[in-house]
């Protein structure tokens, strides 16, 4: 059950296994392992098996097949899936059943995927460190069940790491894809701003008023291989509605296809987000491995980037996002004056320009995703500082891949964040794919992790 989604699709195409057989096997794995993890919190057993049987019939007829044909996947419980509850981890939404699919869900289905269930989230997605709520309970990390899988896509990352799904789709505002991916040792992509539609990603109830304040909120895939990120993005990205009448989307090709061709900017530590010795050592080893592979390395922040001021502006814009959603209030307080909004918007766009200029000289930028491996609840880690490293892709809207790069001596996964040029997501994905050849990639949690 630890194939990548792309490998699983190929097995089905070669008729080495049917979609129904694979889906039944996945349900058996969920039955055996999920009670310990509590990562998958809703199941579509009957519907998924019917859809898998239909996928097998379509293949027998010789129908045109999508890239994920017959592959069972899960979806974060903040996206609408027709006929299933959308709860956002909120007991008040228990009875809400979606009548339509979110755009990403519809497109994944059109690509052939079989949605078998939904994965857990913190209450209203409001936690990037843990995944727990009063409706479904606590999700645990498959590498060490005393530790957190992160949030808010913690259920997605834990399910992937433990072999309970072949692909999941999450969301990322304050690192909610990248932090769980890092803690659980899987891949996660925050795409370039705006390329994946967010329709159908909303709490139950009246829709929010129209707004362009989603410029830092993103939907993206989590997977066990970098190649799966590419496949999932190709299936789900692109305009919809009126915009689709005006233009279409296709991924820009990667800048290079060999590590020795890449120019890699990097920063491995900062006083504002000091990394642990385990993270520091593994990142340094990764940079050394890149050097041996022939990549050109360029150390330092981009000219014009003050990482502390960027982090401040990121926090401001996150607050502004919630102020619009909550009708002009932020945590019960009147929001900042217009002058502050102008200042921080100017900083955001200046940061985007500085990064764009930097990517004229380098191809990708390597830095930590998180300052530590997966934490325990209440372990004293300064959680307010945790988003520091994810800030620098989020503020300017750049694509960023979390990629596994090793295991600590204590048996926890470590990762690197690969930031790419705006709208060149496949450059970051391809670099992550190549990096796995010299720095490791996804590793299955060991048998003694209580997930036999």
Residues 295 and 311: beta-carbon distance below 8 Å: no
pLDDT, tens only, 254-305: 999 999 999 999 999 999 999 999 999 999 999 999 999 999 999 999 999 9
Quote the pLDDT of residue 377: 84
Closest residue by Cα to residue 382 from 371, 390, 398:
371
Quote the pLDDT of residue 324: 74
pLDDT, tens only, 81-112: 999 999 999 999 998 999 999 999 999 999 99
Q: List 414's β-bridge partners, or say none.
A: 406
Residues 187 and 404: beta-carbon distance below 8 Å: yes
Q: List 264's β-bridge partners, or say none.
A: 297, 364
Quote the pLDDT of residue 321: 86
Q: Which regions in the chain score pLDDT beneath 50?
A: 329-333, 452
- Residue 208: CB atoms within 10 A of its CB come to 14
Tell me whether the CATH fold assigned to 5-250 matches the one assigned to 259-439: yes
Closest residue by Cα to residue 103 from 250, 240, 202:
240
Quote the pLDDT of residue 332: 45
Residues 128 and 386: beta-carbon distance below 8 Å: yes
Query: Can you say how many angstroms the Cα of residue 373 is from the centroid of all Cα atoms in its chain?
Result: 17
Complete DSSP assignment for 72-107: EEEEETTB--TTSB--TT-GGGTT-B-SS--HHHHH
Global pTM reads 0.96
Closest residue by Cα to residue 82 from 127, 40, 47:
47
Give Cα separations from 422 to 132, 387, 425 (angstroms). Answer: 33, 20, 7
Residues 267 and 273: beta-carbon distance below 8 Å: no
Give the pairing type, strands 400-407 and 413-419. Answer: antiparallel
* Phi, psi (degrees; rounded to nearest 5) at 57: -65, -40
Quote the pLDDT of residue 327: 59
What's the rounded Cα separation, in Å, for the pair 5 and 114? 11
Catalytic residues: 76, 152, 176
Q: Which residue bears the tokens 């959603």?
A: 325
Quote the pLDDT of residue 323: 78
What's the rounded Cα separation, in Å, for the pair 182 and 188? 8
Q: Quick one: tokens of 90?
A: 């909120």
Residues 401 and 408: beta-carbon distance below 8 Å: no
Give Cα separations from 117 to 88, 210, 235 (angstroms). Answer: 14, 29, 19
Q: Domain spans of the chain?
A: 5-250, 259-439
Instruction: Show the CA angle centred on residue 23, arms to residues 18 and 24, nearest 5°.
Output: 100
Length of the chain: 452
Q: List 72's β-bridge partners, or say none.
A: 114
What's the rounded Cα separation, in Å, for the pair 303 and 444? 39
Topology at the third CATH level for domain 5-250: Amidase signature (AS) enzymes (3.90.1300)
Quote the pLDDT of residue 331: 47
Which class is 259-439 in CATH? alpha beta
Contacts of 334 (CB under 8 A, 6+ apart): 328
Closest residue by Cα to residue 118 from 158, 94, 143, 86:
86
């Amino acid at each position: 059950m630890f194939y990548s989604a792309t490998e699983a699709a190929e097995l089905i195409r070669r008729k080495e296994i049917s979609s129904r057989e694979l889906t039944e096997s996945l349900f058996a794995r969920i039955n055996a392992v999920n009670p310990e993890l509590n990562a998958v919190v809703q199941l579509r057993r009957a519907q998924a098996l019917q859809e898998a049987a239909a996928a097998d019939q379509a293949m027998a007829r010789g129908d045109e097949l999508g890239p994920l044909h017959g592959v069972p996947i899960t979806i974060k419980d903040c996206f609408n899936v027709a006929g299933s509850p959308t709860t956002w981890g909120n007991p008040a939404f228990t009875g809400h059943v979606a009548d339509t699919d979110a755009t990403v869900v519809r497109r994944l289905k059109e690509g052939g995927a079989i949605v078998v269930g939904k994965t857990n989230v913190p209450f209203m997605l409001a936690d990037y460190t843990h995944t727990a709520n009063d409706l479904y309970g606590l999700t645990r990390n498959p590498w060490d069940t005393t530790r957190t899988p992160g949030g808010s896509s913690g259920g997605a990352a834990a399910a992937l790491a433990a072999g309970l799904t072949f692909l999941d789709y999450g969301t990322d505002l304050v690192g909610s894809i990248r932090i769980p991916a890092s803690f659980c040792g899987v891949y996660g992509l925050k795409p370039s701003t705006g390329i994946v539609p967010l329709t159908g990603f909303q709490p139950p109830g009246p829709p929010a008023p129209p707004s362009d304040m989603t410029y830092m909120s993103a939907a993206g895939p989590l997977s066990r291989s970098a190649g799966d990120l590419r496949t999932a993005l190709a299936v789900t990205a692109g305009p919809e509605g009126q915009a689709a009448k005006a233009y279409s989307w296709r991924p820009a090709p990667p800048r290079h296809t060999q590590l020795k061709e890449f120019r890699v900017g990097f920063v491995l530590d900062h006083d504002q987000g000091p990394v642990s010795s385990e993270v520091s050592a593994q990142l340094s080893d990764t940079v050394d491995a890149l050097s041996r592979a022939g990549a050109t390395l360029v150390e330092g922040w981009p000219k014009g980037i003050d990482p502390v001021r960027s982090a401040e502006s990121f926090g401001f814009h996150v607050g502004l996002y919630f102020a619009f959603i909550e009708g002009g209030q932020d945590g019960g307080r009147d929001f900042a004056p217009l002058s502050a909004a102008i200042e921080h918007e100017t900083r955001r766009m200046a940061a985007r320009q500085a990064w764009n200029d930097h990517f004229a000289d380098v191809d990708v930028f390597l830095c930590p995703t998180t300052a530590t491996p997966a934490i325990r609840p209440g372990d004293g880690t300064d959680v307010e500082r945790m988003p520091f490293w994810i800030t620098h892709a989020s503020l300017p809207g750049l694509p960023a891949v979390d990629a596994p790069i090793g295991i600590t001596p204590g048996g926890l996964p470590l990762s690197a964040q690969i930031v790419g040029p705006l709208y060149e997501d496949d450059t970051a994905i391809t670099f992550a794919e190549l990096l796995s050849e010299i720095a490791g990639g996804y590793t299955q949690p060991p048998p003694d992790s209580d997930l036999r």
